[in-house]
Structure 1
Amino acid sequence: MEAIDLFADPIELTRQLVDIPSPSHHEEHIADVIEAALRQLPVEVMRLKNTVLARTQRHLPERVVLAGHIDTVPIADNVPSHQEDDVMFGCGTVDMKSGLAVYLHAFATLCDSPQLQRDLTVVCYEGEEVASEFNGLGFIEKDAPEWLEGDLALLGEPSGAMIEAGCQGSIRLKISAHGVRAHSARSWLGDNAAHHLTPVMQRICEYQPRTVDIDGCTYREGLNIVHLESGVATNTIPDDAWMFLNFRFAPDRSVEEALQHLHEVLRLDELENISFVIDDAVGGALPGLEQPVTTPLIKAAGGFRAKFGWTDVARFSALGVPALNFGPGDPSFAHKRDEQCPVEMITQVNDILQEYLTT
């Protein structure tokens, strides 16, 4: 089994992590490697399935949880990594092995340092890129919730080396229309299911989303059709049509309030031959910037902005732990074949995190 060096420069540690393939459901090997490295430190270590945790117990006044997922999307001929000039390419360089490398390096170098001002927990978890039932944080919450306790949680999600606060919630509806199949030459004998979706589509097109300011973070909501499907043959009236509708909502709405808003906007109960199911619904997370523990980090980072996508900060927020996204990389490169991260960002996040944890 190859080894990783937690004391290496975070750029080199990123390369080491990227070069260990770990697509979702295949995290065992990288978990073994990370566990072996953490067990060399004077800390408490726990393994739960393919999630590895470690923590200090120095009775410092605050505890910070450093969390990063170890899985990636499927590899697209982009492992092992390579570097061109000052940019590292490879699966996971952005999402999120660079952030994980910074967090592991900070944990290793500071766990027994007299400069450390806050106790640390590091969480390297499986199954973030797939359905929530496989998410390692969910396993911890169920079987060892005390490991998620802290005054602040940081998620190493790519944020361009800036603090991205909170996250938006997301609801996905599957809206279906039902009709009667017929030959298009005798269309009056059928009932076109696709046509029944047009009132819903019109209401979505006319929708004016909110822009919401919360604690200085601007969140932009959105209501969009993200998948649309119908059709039997080019000479046939379709008897079924369906679409996925995605509502991204600001974290000042609960899931229940967001669902109620969708009902008011879409008025699906007024339409004939229309049915829907909730395919997915997750709440957002408020910024949590008012907590005293976040102030020195924001000062060190030089500011903050809102997080538009959903991340696992919402899980910590639901547990009452303020959480922020903070990691290297441009999130627009996540999951792409040419996934890439400027190495300068890895150094920048490392420097800011070290300053925060020792101040």
Structure 2
Amino acid sequence: MRDPVELAAAYLEVPSVTGDEAALARLVGEHLDAAGLRVEVVAGCVVARNHGGDSSATLLVGHLDTVPGELPVAVDELVLRGRGAVDMKAGLAVAVALACSEPSVPVTVVAYPGEEGPITGNGLAHLVAERPELLAGARGVLLEPTGGFLELGCQGVVRATLRLRGRRAHVARAWMGRNAIDRVGEALGTLRALERREPQIGPVRYREAIEVVGVRGGVAWNVVPDLVEIDVSYRFAPDLDAARARQRLEEAVRPVMDDGDDLEVAEAVPGAVSDLGRFGALRSGAFGVRAKLGWTDVAQLVAAGVPAVNFGPGDPELAHTDQEMVEVAEVRHVAQALWRWLHA
């Protein structure tokens, strides 16, 4: 098998912050093309196949982009360091290494831009919309960092802003107004009281999160504020669809809302449930099985009809941090586990 560590080191040397992935896409495409795969570029996605459209193909999927913040690249016998080492250039390198090593089974590699930004710029979403036939396959692995664990499905996401109104007045005559910021406490208490569900789905348990991630208000030092905005992030278990999760949040805040208040939902994206039966042989090569806490593009693969799981090198708790690093041994372990699974 081609050495995934060597590829990961090369990819770390090419900056690829969201919106600036073209150079890395070219390098990945060159590696796959040199190995004899059929390479196409669609909506910024590099798609490479060793087959002509086999519906039994295995999809190996990873994103090209990283979050901003340059980090020095350092590679030695033990670790790879640099921006994107964990999320997810090591996983992308594993996918490319496997496909370049002449597997005896049909494989499709998808390397896509825009994962770290809003869903409107997600390259995989555009690929699904424009060329869904390129994603035909019997199973898929998203090589997001999982620390070598097999992580099933993913949570859905609701992002919303609760706007509570008041009435302006001069602070010297505050009784003539209504301070919108005074209403924050009741809203926070209501959100805090909302049950964080922990449903068991198959062999794993999901844990929901509902967090206030931003509060904005105030006009000037001498003005009673007439508006406060509360940003809420709800990560919901995949036994709920997006509509039901949205409804659950709306019902929770309704008791604190008065005429003129509103809840604006900016995004409601469903999660996904993984069919572990399709990946039983991979389980033996993983360090364990657990639920994916967070949203990943496994949801898009499952929605496109491809059963999928998350499995890749790197500690997800180091993703996006200035301590981003991945162990060389873990990169090779994940690559070998996938190689054995592909040929099982």
Residue number in structure 2 paired with 1:87: 79
Residue number in structure 2 paired with 1:263: 250
Q: State the shift of 1:61 in Å.
A: 8.3
User: Conserved in 1, the CA contact under 8 Å of 2:150 and 2:311?
Assistant: yes
Q: State the shift of 1:42 in Å.
A: 2.7
Q: State the shift of 1:41 in Å.
A: 2.4
Residue 349 in structure 1 maps to residue 334 in structure 2: yes
Residue 124 in structure 1 maps to residue 111 in structure 2: yes
Q: Any residues of structure 2 matched to 1:175-186 within 5 Å, and which? A: 175-186=162-173
1:32 to 26, 29, 32: 26
- How far apart in 1 are the matches of 2:112 and 2:229? 35
Q: TM-score, normalised by structure 1?
A: 0.91
2:94 to 99, 102, 107: 102
1:297 to 251, 271, 282: 282
Could you list the per-position Cα deviations for residues 118-155 of structure 1 after superposition, in whole angstroms to 9, with x for gaps in the alignment? 31000011111111111111121122101111111111
Query: Residue 337 of structure 1: SS of its match in structure 2?
Result: coil
- How far apart in 1 are the matches of 2:207 and 2:6? 37
2:152 to 158, 165, 182: 165
Query: Residue 228 of structure 2: SS of its match in structure 1?
Result: strand
- TM-align CA RMSD: 1.9
Q: State the shift of 1:110 in Å.
A: 2.7
Unaligned runs of 5+ in 1: 1-6
Q: State the shift of 1:25 in Å.
A: 0.9
Could you list the per-position Cα deviations for residues 255-276 of structure 1 after superposition, in whole angstroms to 9, with x for gaps in the alignment? 1111222223222585344211
- How far apart in 1 are the matches of 2:91 and 2:77? 20
Residue number in structure 1 paired with 2:71: 78
- How far apart in 2 are the matches of 1:183 and 1:296? 69
Query: Residue 16 of structure 1: SS of its match in structure 2?
Result: helix
- How far apart in 1 are the matches of 2:250 and 2:119? 25
Moved more, 241-250 or 177-186: 177-186
Q: State the shift of 1:340 in Å.
A: 1.1
Could you list the per-position Cα deviations for residues 49-106 of structure 1 after superposition, in whole angstroms to 9, with x for gaps in the alignment? 42111112289783210000011111x2314x10366222100100000000011001
Q: Which residue identity is paired with 2:31?
A: A
Q: Which runs of 4+ in 1 moved over 6 A?
A: 58-61
User: Conserved in 2, the CA contact under 8 Å of 1:169 and 1:251?
Assistant: yes
User: Conserved in 2, the CA contact under 8 Å of 1:157 and 1:327?
Assistant: yes
Q: State the shift of 1:252 in Å.
A: 0.5
Count, aligned residues? 344
1:214 to 201, 223, 242: 201
> Judging changes above 3 Å, is the alpha-carbon distance between structure 1 residues 102 and 51 closer, same or farther for their aligned structure 2 residues?
same
Unaligned runs of 5+ in 2: none
Q: State the shift of 1:190 in Å.
A: 1.6
Residue 310 in structure 1 maps to residue 295 in structure 2: yes
> Judging changes above 3 Å, is the alpha-carbon distance between structure 1 residues 299 and 58 closer, same or farther for their aligned structure 2 residues?
farther
Residue number in structure 2 paired with 1:4: none
Q: TM-score, normalised by structure 2?
A: 0.94
User: Conserved in 2, the CA contact under 8 Å of 1:196 and 1:274?
Assistant: no
Q: Which residue identity is paired with 1:82?
A: A
- How far apart in 2 are the matches of 1:279 and 1:131? 11
